[in-house]
Amino acid sequence: MTVPLFLLSGLLGLVAVILAIPAALFCLEIAAAHRPRSRPSPLPPSRDRRSLAVVVPAHDEERHLGATLDSVRAQLLPDDRLVVVADNCTDRTAEVAAAAGAEVVVRQNPFARGKGYAMDAGIRHLQAAAPHVVVFVDADCHLGTGALDALAGQALAHGRPVQARYLCLAPPGARPGLKVAEFAFFVKNALRPRGLAALGLPCQLTGSGMAFPWPIIAQARLDSGEIVEDLKLGLDCALAGHAPMLCDAALVTSRFPTAQPAVASQRERWQRGHLGQIRTALPQLITGLRRGDRACVAQMLDAMVPPLTLLLLANAALVAIAAAAAVAGASPVPFAIGAASAASLMVAIVAGWRLADAEGHGGGGPRALMAYLAGNAVLYQRLLARTPVAWTRTDRSGTP
């Protein structure tokens, strides 16, 4: 083997190992999610739990806010509080919230936009009479039966942040592509957290249905324009020794927008933010390793798993390049590692699809899945451009 081929083999081998680590973790999470478990059942309303406050960050949400607040109020006890932060609104969000009986915080600062700032405003509003637990719910969500009781009880019992099973559903009659997006959301927000929970490990915070004991959230830094503020908050909590955990019994749902530009914009924002947080998680992973903090290390590793489409595309590219290099005389080991990773990912996806289909989230079909993967491939080409992205509200004008 010549020196150039030796160096190429080493480089491809390094890339193969780097890609194999998140692929192995993803497969482990899906495998663990198959463990027999007691299906979470809605909890009966509790009349003796400690007080909580529900904070709803809202930016121009007058259309959907009323239904969300009705869903929340049905589960509140007399001592609970409902706070809506009308953040940089240009519509009647504040009026809708007030009419529903919520405490309304109006925030206007066009130079500091984003959900994180609204969450921070809600916490500052609560400081004078702090509740025992704070639950964040997005303004377009619906709470499943007993969700607040389950979240509050688990957060107080364990003294840790708790994440509900937050799912985004395709509207009735939606095109197959949205059904695939629902499946991908289910894998990310339900199957992978379940697998981690089965292994006794923490999960990520996923945006809505997040519950915190007051001492933890009061110390968290929320006032940022991060486009994936939930993921950042979860990593910060893990680094502080309060790794989040899944509450599978608490269900929170929302619906994808039906307008294709809105779906594409939402997906691009999530993917760009996720990739940005991977860079942030690396030094935090090193910190966790130095401390010997198992929960922190596990959460940072999970956060560093790239979006599934990107991981598949990267492995496919590696296999193609490594195969050509092996034919030219380079080591076949990188090809073998890449092929094994790609095959394992495909098996895990099929296994995840079967689990999702059993719970009504596996629609779309193979053709829709291929179209979804192709669309994401185009998206990643755009993400290579180093364009700053600020937080933007998803257009839900077509959402039922």
CATH number at residue 169: 3.90.550.10
Q: The pTM is what? A: 0.87
CA distances from 380 to 231, 313, 369, 384 (A): 20, 10, 17, 6
**Per-residue pLDDT, 161:** 97
Task: Please tell me whether residues 22 and 56 are part of one structural domain.
Answer: no
Average pLDDT over residues 207-229: 87
Q: Are residues 25 and 57 in the same domain?
A: no
Number of domains in the chain: 2
Q: Per the domain annotation, does 324 fall within a domain? A: yes
Kindly state whether residues 319 and 210 are assigned to the same domain.
no
Could you read off the pLDDT of 56-73 as tens digits, one per residue? 999 999 988 999 999 999
Say which amino acid occupies 252. Answer: V
For 105, the domain range is: 52-261
Instruction: Please give the backbone phi and psi of residue 397, each rounded to the nearest 5 degrees, phi first.
Output: -60, -25
User: Is 329 inside a domain boundary?
Assistant: yes
pLDDT (tens digit, 9 = 90+) per residue, 109-146?
988 888 899 999 999 999 999 999 999 999 999 999 99
- Domain stops at, among 233, 261, 289: 261
Tokens matching residue 324: 């050509």
Residue with tokens 């704070």: 134
**Residue 289, domain member (yes or no):** no
Alpha helices in 34-129 (DSSP H): 62-73, 93-99, 115-126
